[in-house]
Structures are given as C-alpha cells and as structure tokens.
Amino acid sequence: MFNDLNIPLLPPRASTFASEYDMLFWYINLVCLIGGGLTLATLFWFCFRYARQPGAKEETPRILGSMKIEIAWTLTPFLFFVSFFIWGVRIYSDKISAPIDAPEYYVVGKQWMWKIQHPTGQREINELHLAVDRPVRITGTSEDVIHDFGIPAFRSKFDVIPGRYVTTWYHPTKTGTYHIFCDQYCGMGHSQMVGKVHVMNQADYDAWLEGTYVDYEGKNSADGSAAWEGRKLFLKLQCNACHNADGTGRAPQLAAIHGQRRPLQGGQDVLADDAYLRDSIRNPMAKIVDGWKPIMPAYTRTQVSEEELLNLVAYIRSLKQATQLPKRYEQYPAPVGAPGAPTAEGGLSK
Ligand code: HEC
Ligand SMILES: [Cu+2]
C-alpha cells in the first residue's frame, strides 16, 4: 500500500524488508497519533463541558470508578501494544534468519572505518558491492569498540561487537548507491565512519568481482580481484618498464586496447581479444604491433603460470584509460594496514 507513495522523508526502499518495516512504522505512528489525539480532544472537551458554572454549588459530586471504563481503557491499548509486538517479532525473526544458501560477507568495524570481505576474496573499505535480487548473509564484528553497521535504504542496522559475531542478511531489490552509517557513537571519528553500498546488476557485479568494472568514478580494480592480482604481477614482472602511463615507454600503451583491432607489421590487423592478449605475452614474436620493435621477451610457463596469465589478461582488460597504468618506476604498494602502508584516513600506519 505504501510502496507507490514516494515520501521523501524516508530513505529509498531497496531491500525486501523495507516495505514491511515501513508499514509497521506507519502503523505505530498512526495508532499513537490517533490515540494521543483522542486523549487530547477528550481533555479539552471535558474542560469546557465540566467547567464550574457561575452560581453552582461549592461541592462536586463524589463519583466512584467504573469497571467497564477501566477495562475498556486498559484492554484497548494493551491489544494495540501486543499487535506492535507481534508484528515487530515477525520482522525481527525474519531479519535474523538468513536463507541457508546465502553467501556470507564479513564486516569488521574499526575506529573509524568499515572493512569488508567478499566470500570470493575481494576486500573493500567503506564500500560494499552487491548484486541485485540475490540475498546475502552479513556477519559482523569489531576490532575495538561497539559500532553499528546501518544501511537505511535496506532498513537494516546491527551492532558489531568486539569478541562476538553478529549475523543479519539483506535481499537488495533495487540497483543504486545507498548510504552506510555507523549508527552507534564510537568516538571522535564517528561521524566520518560512513560508506556506500552499491547494488549492481549481476553482469556488472561479476565484472566488479573480476576487477574489470572500473569505469565508475575512475576507481581501480577491487582489492583481491583477478585484475588486482594481475596488476601486482604486472609490477612484479616489471612490465611497466616498457608499458607505462607516462607515454615514455618502449612499448605500446595497453589501456583500452581490449576489443579493438590492432595493426600488425605487414599490414594486417587482428582483434585484441583474450586469446590475442594471452599470445602477446607467451609468444610476443608471433604478432608484432606495427611501429614497434620486437623487443618484448616471451614469458614462459615457468615465469608466468596459466593462472597468473589469466590475471594479467584480466588486468589489461580492466584498463580503460592510460592513467590507470602504473608509472615507469612504480613499485607494488604495501597492503592497507601493513607497517608503513597508507591508511584509509590518509596517514601512515605504525
Ligand atoms: C622490454 C620491453 C617489454 C617488456 C618488459 C614487456 N613488453 Fe609487452 N610489448 C613490448 C613491445 C615493444 C610490444 C609491441 C611489439 C610486439 O607486439 O611484440 C609489446 C606488446 C605487448 C602486447 C600487445 C599490445 C598491443 O598493442 O597489441 C601486450 C598485451 C603486452 N605487450 C603485454 C606485456 C606484459 C603483460 C608484460 C609483462 C609480463 C610485458 N608486455 C612486458 C615490450 C615489452
Ligand atoms: Cu563506529
């Protein structure tokens, strides 16, 4: 009933809980409003109706209680309160029992950020990517004090408590980007302990998992994705000594070549699909890009395993613009949280 009413006072409804939760919210509000209104109206009416009339006797009549009225005004609110309780328990028990096959995501609260780990290994900070219409289980804990992981658009919040696992679940129903808040005051940086949840369609989410969905806000691939592994390898094998972002390299710039036709020496061209990228690394001499010298070493199976090669290809596929390529002398940065590594707040960790 309330679903098609767009009341901007409320956050968007993006999970299966949202409409049921809102109905209960409005029901409680309506009952309280009507109950309070009736009490107030009666009060005013009595003030006028039973006001002392001029010339009336000094004494007021002594009236003893009425059982009927007592029962009516005790039982009526009681029944309403019980209805709040039953409805509330129904939603609550639904909220704490995740579907058995829902994949599990981990959330760790820490002064003052949210660390999130996907069941497939990807990690993110202050961001959570989810696929639409796929229920997920969320297990949360805290590294220091009590925080509370709240997503208003899902009508969901739960305390994350040091030394304990707390579980809830979501079934996102609408693609979009919504707020994550810390809903429990947790110290100085509490107001900055916020984030975003991105509900994507399945194809975008799969690309995000792989690390090739990077064009929104120009961000890099997800930590832990295939493309992210590929980037590490790219730096480790020093592919950036020749292929780099500066345009000073001795090799073609690799951004946005996937899916394009590449001109080859001898006048032919070839579609740069996954197989071509793979061959270009295993056996660079076979197809030389027009205008470049055949100086690229072949990377054999002992240097780059098939799995690593997949990651390299995913990385090249994820490159949509040249600025995403590393600099010529860039080294792989230490992971977040490691000694000397940049922290989410921008300083250096100890
Ligand atoms: C010594 C310099 C050098 C190094 C190191 C090097 N490459 Fe290359 N690479 C080249 C040159 C030059 C070409 C263009 C000529 C050719 O096709 O062989 C090329 C071509 C390519 C192509 C085809 C590009 C196109 O435009 O179609 C890919 C993909 C590629 N390299 C990936 C890699 C990867 C991945 C690594 C690291 C494992 C790497 N290269 C290391 C010099 C290098
Ligand atoms: Cu907090």
Tell whether 78 is covered by a domain.
no
Of 101, 75, 94, 108, residue with least CA distance to 156? 94
Q: Which residues pair with 270 in a beta bridge?
A: 262
The total number of structural domains that make up the chain? 2
**pLDDT grade for 185, boundaries at 50, 70 and 90:** very high
Residue of 234, 242, 257 to test ligand 1 pocket, by largest number of atoms within 8 Å of CB? 242
Pocket of ligand 1 (CB under 6 A): 237, 239, 241-243, 250-252, 254, 257, 262, 272, 277, 280-281, 284, 288-289, 292-296, 299, 312, 316
For atom 42 of ligand 1, which residue has the closest CA?
A: 296
Q: Are residues 206 and 226 in the same domain?
A: no
End-of-domain residue from the set 167, 186, 216: 216
CATH number at residue 152: 2.60.40.420
Query: Which residues have a Cβ under 8 Å from the Cβ of 123 and sit 6 or more positions away?
Result: 115, 116, 117, 222, 223, 224
Tell whether 93 is covered by a domain.
no
Of 239, 258, 245, 236, residue with least CA distance to 296? 239
Tell whether 32 is covered by a domain.
no
End-of-domain residue from the set 192, 216, 240: 216
Q: Are residues 148 and 130 in the same domain?
A: yes
For ligand 2, the distance from its centroid to the CA atom of residue 161, given in whole angstroms, is: 10
Q: Are residues 257 and 302 in the same domain?
A: yes
Percent above pLDDT 90 for the chain: 49
Tell whether 57 is covered by a domain.
no
Cα–Cα–Cα angle for 277, 281, 283, nearest 5°? Answer: 110
Rounded to two decimals, what is the model's pTM? Answer: 0.75
Q: Are residues 313 and 234 in the same domain?
A: yes
Residue of 242, 260, 296, 319 to test ligand 1 pocket, by largest number of atoms within 8 Å of CB? 296
Contact call for residues 174 and 132 (beta carbons, < 8 A): yes
Ligand nearest the Cα of residue 243 is 1
- pLDDT on residue 96: 85
194-200 and 176-182 as β-strands: parallel, antiparallel, unpaired? antiparallel
Tell whether 293 is covered by a domain.
yes
For atom 39 of ligand 1, which residue has the closest CA?
A: 239
Q: Are residues 207 and 136 in the same domain?
A: yes
Tell whether 130 is covered by a domain.
yes
Tell whether 241 is covered by a domain.
yes
**pLDDT grade for 70, boundaries at 50, 70 and 90:** very high
pLDDT at 343 over 60: no
pLDDT at 342 over 60: no
For ligand 1, the distance from its centroid to the CA atom of residue 347, given in whole angstroms, is: 36
The C-alpha atoms of residue 164 and residue 136 are separated, in whole angstroms, by: 20
Q: Are residues 231 and 167 in the same domain?
A: no
Strand order in the sheet with 176-182: 127-131, 194-200, 176-182, 147-151, 156-160
- pLDDT on residue 350: 42
Q: Residue 189 belongs to what domain range?
A: 104-216
Q: Are residues 189 and 225 in the same domain?
A: no
Q: Which range has the top average pLDDT, 31-35, 251-255, 329-333?
A: 31-35
Q: Are residues 260 and 316 in the same domain?
A: yes
Q: Average of pLDDT values for 212-223?
A: 68
For ligand 2, the distance from its centroid to the CA atom of residue 110, given in whole angstroms, is: 7
CATH number at residue 293: 1.10.760.10
Tell me which H or E stretch contains 168: strand 166-170
Q: Average of pLDDT values for 110-127?
A: 91
pLDDT at 349 over 50: no
**pLDDT grade for 6, boundaries at 50, 70 and 90:** low
Which amino acid belongs to residue 317?
R
For ligand 2, the distance from its centroid to the CA atom of residue 192, given in whole angstroms, is: 9
Token pair, residue 201, equals 């369609």
Q: Average of pLDDT values for 310-327?
A: 83
Per-residue pLDDT tens digits for 149-172: 999 999 999 999 999 999 999 999
The C-alpha atoms of residue 266 and residue 289 are separated, in whole angstroms, by: 9
- In sequence order, what E strands does 26-175 have? 104-110, 113-117, 123-125, 127-131, 136-142, 147-151, 156-160, 166-170
Per-residue pLDDT tens digits for 235-247: 888 888 888 777 6
Tell whether 210 is covered by a domain.
yes
Q: Are residues 180 and 242 in the same domain?
A: no
Q: Are residues 200 and 228 in the same domain?
A: no
Q: Are residues 183 and 236 in the same domain?
A: no
Token pair, residue 341, equals 């590594």
Ligand nearest the Cα of residue 189 is 2
Ligand nearest the Cα of residue 147 is 2
Cα dihedral value 220, 223, 229, 234, nearest 10: 40
Q: Are residues 276 and 199 in the same domain?
A: no
- pLDDT on residue 184: 94
End-of-domain residue from the set 172, 187, 216: 216
Percent above pLDDT 70 for the chain: 89
